[in-house]
Structure formats: C-alpha cells, structure tokens
C-alpha cells in the first residue's frame, strides 16, 4: 500500500527537495524501510547503526507520535500520512558529557529518556511574570533543561518580594526582575537561553510575543492580564498553564486549545475592589512555591507528551487544611472567545473590560 511520507526540510537533500514522497508497506516500520531502500540518503538520516529509528528522530502518523501507538508495528492504511520529524533545536547534536551527567536522572526515566530530554531542550516556554509563581516555575523548568525561557516582567525587585520570589536575591533589590531572573537561571543551568521581555504585556504586543513560544505559563497578578493572556493563547492555539494564589489558597489548571479556556471557567472578572489583592491582603510566601511547581510539572508533561494534563480540571489547594481538591471544568459552548459562536475574535481593551484601576497583587 502506498503511504504518503512527509520529509522535513533538512532531510530533503536526500529526496531531490521533495517534501512528500511515497513509501510502501502495511506498517510504519515497513514504510520507513521502503523509503530507506529507495532513498539511501534518507536511510542514513533516519536509522541508527542498528537499523532502528534513531533517537533524535520522531515519527508521527497523522500527527500522533508512533511511540504512543505501536511504534514501528503501527498499522497504516490508504490516506494515512507518516511524518518524519527530527528533534527540535540541537536535536541531532549528541549530548555533551556534561549534559548526560546533568540530565542523567531524566534520561534513565523511561518516560523521558534521551528523546524526552531533547524535547525539553528544544522547547520554548513563556512565563508571564517573574514573581511568586514565575520564580519556582522558572527555576524548575531551567533545571529540567527547558531550552528557551521567555520571561515577561517590567518591574524591579523590591525587598518585599523576597519573602516568596525565589528567583531574586538580596543583592538584586532595585534591579529589573528579568535581569535578576536571567542571572539566577544561568547559575542553575547554562544550557537555558533566557529571553527577557522587560515590558508590560498589552493588547498591542501580546500576540507578537506569545507567538514565539510553544507553551505559556501564567503567573500574573491581575485579571486584565489574565484575560489578555487567555484570549491571546486561544487565538494562537497555545496551551496555557494557569495558576493563581490568594492568602493560603491556590488554583491551577491547564487550558488546551479547543478544550475550553479561562473564560469558560470565569466568564468575567470581579468588579475592581471587590477582591482584595495579595498586596492588600497578604499571601503565604511558600504558597506560590506549591502552585508554581504544579505549573512547572504540567508544562514538562505537555512538552514530553506524558501523563494526563490538568486539562478540563481545576486544582484547588488549601495550605491551611493541606487539602488538594479537583473540580471538573468544561468548555462553555457560549464562551465569547472559544465557544461555538465567538463574539470576541481579536484582543480587546482589557483594562476597560476589567474596570480601572487595576489593583496590584
């Protein structure tokens, strides 16, 4: 049976620049072997010395990784499309000795392995805020080897931040948070490229910034940014890992494209002043540590494609009773942004939507 095989740009030298070729076989393994026979250059690129698909190459069938199906034994039928995708940036480059040692506890996990570690190194994650939530998320994602971390934060470090914002240190007081974050992350893992965005996210710049990343982690303190980031992620089809905290309590959830959004959970923000900010009411310093780590775990699961994401669920954490509960969360068909008949199709004025002035948390 003839099956369409997608060839990635870097491999097209071996296929006379064709992006789609045909392979014959009843399962993925046979199709790949057939392609290898007819295009010897491809054979050298896809297979390792033992004739297995090399670790730095992922094979998808109709968009699904064959590792999650029956690997090479996955059956193919007419109309299926097999895609060959080399690991993202640096994927084809072998790990350095230092990387093998650094990531050894990941690499020996069957659910991560060398392939997973390369996915982490190739991933681009945007953190909204380098504060209470963003700090633990950034440090753990950096330690895990997430290759590119964008950080949006316009503020400078204040001594009152140090009670919970563990990216920043005493000597950072007065410095830009993104600068301090960049240094802390470099100290943890020099493999990580930090892209500082020392600005306030607005309806004018949000799409342009978020577009550059694979996953967005929201750790902002106010409703206007929360709705702005949500809407931008819906429009750009980006997964959003959401977290929020207040006093001793936290909430977290993952919004996957097409499966509901923050507006499905809370259609509108409270009027200004109704809900006090953390600055007004206080927050337990360790609390964002828990919620931010939940966000970091969810981000890593999404990158690796393992486990069940916290999608369609709202995690509630109460530090005082040390209680985790999970509520069901549904996509709202009448959601103005992601519902069946959306009425909001571009970014709006979020300060107006949330009512001015915005409280600082």
Partner 1 sequence: MSVEVRVTSLLQKAIGGAKSVSAQGDTISALLDNLESSYPGFKSNVLADNGELHRFVNIYKNNEDIRYLGNLDTPVGSGDVISILPALAGGSTSCRP
**Residues at the interface with partner 1 (CB under 8 A):** 128-134, 152-155, 161, 165, 177, 200-203, 218-226, 228, 243-251, 265-270, 275, 277-279, 283, 288, 314, 316, 318, 320-321, 325-330, 332, 350-351, 358, 360-361
The smaller minimum CB distance to partner 1, of residues 106 and 226, is found at 226
Q: Between residues 2 and 327, which has the closer beta carbon with respect to partner 1? A: 327
Angle between helices 287-304 and 113-122 (to 10 degrees): 110
How does strand 57-61 pair with strand 64-65? antiparallel
Which residue, 111 or 212, is less far from partner 1 as judged by CB?
A: 212
Report the relative pairing of strands 148-152 and 193-197 from DSSP bridges: parallel
Of 107 and 128, the one with the shorter C-beta distance to partner 1 is: 128
Nearest-approach distance from CB 216 to partner 1, in angstroms: 12
| Contact by Cβ (8 Å): 206, 226 | no
- Nearest distance, CB of residue 261 and partner 1, angstroms: 13
Burial class (CB in 10 A: 0-12, 13-18, 19+), 71: middle
Supply the minimum distance, in Å, between the C-beta of residue 283 and partner 1: 6
Output 226 or 238, the one with its CB closest to partner 1.
226
Q: How far is the CB of 244 from partner 1 (least distance, A)?
A: 4
Minimum distance of partner 1 from residue 291's CB (angstroms): 9
Q: Quickly list DSSP for 173-209.
A: TTSBHHHHHHHHHHHH-TTPEEEEE-S---TTTHHHH
- Cis? peptide before 267, omega within 30° of 0: no
């Amino acid at each position: 049976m003839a099956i369409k095989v997608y060839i990635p740009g870097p491999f097209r030298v071996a296929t006379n620049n064709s992006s789609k070729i045909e392979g014959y076989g009843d399962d993925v393994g046979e199709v790949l072997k057939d392609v290898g026979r007819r295009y010897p250059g491809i054979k050298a690129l896809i297979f390792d010395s033992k004739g297995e698909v090399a670790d730095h190459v992922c094979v998808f069938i109709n968009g699904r990784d064959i590792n999650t199906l029956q690997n090479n034994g996955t059956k193919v039928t007419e109309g299926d499309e097999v895609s060959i995708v080399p690991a993202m940036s640096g994927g084809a480059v072998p790990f350095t000795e230092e990387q093998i040692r650094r990531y050894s506890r990941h690499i020996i996990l069957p659910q991560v392995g060398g392939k997973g570690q390369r996915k982490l190194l190739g991933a681009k994650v945007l953190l909204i805020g380098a504060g209470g939530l963003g700090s633990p998320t950034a440090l753990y994602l950096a330690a895990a080897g997430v290759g590119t971390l964008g950080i949006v934060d316009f503020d400078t470090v204040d001594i009152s931040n140090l009670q919970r914002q563990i990216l920043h240190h005493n000597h950072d007081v007065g410095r830009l948070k993104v600068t301090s974050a960049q240094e802390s992350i470099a100290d943890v893992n020099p493999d990580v490229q930090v892209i500082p965005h020392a600005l306030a996210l607005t309806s004018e710049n949000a799409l342009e910034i978020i577009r550059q990343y694979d996953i967005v982690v929201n750790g902002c303190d106010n409703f206007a940014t929360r709705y702005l980031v949500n809407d931008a992620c819906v429009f750009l089809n980006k997964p959003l890992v959401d977290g929020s905290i207040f006093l001793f309590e936290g909430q977290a959830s993952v919004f996957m494209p097409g499966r509901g959004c923050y507006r499905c959970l809370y259609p509108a923000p409270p009027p200004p002043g109704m809900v006090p900010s953390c600055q007004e009411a206080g927050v337990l310093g360790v609390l964002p540590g828990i919620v931010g780590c939940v966000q970091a775990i969810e981000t890593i699961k999404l990158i690796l494609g393992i486990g069940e994401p916290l999608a369609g669920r709202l995690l509630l954490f109460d530090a005082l009773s040390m209680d985790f509960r999970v509520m069901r969360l549904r996509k709202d068909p009448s959601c103005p942004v992601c519902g069946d008949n959306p009425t909001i199709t571009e970014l709006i004025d979020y300060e107006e939507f949330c009512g001015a002035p915005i409280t600082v948390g």
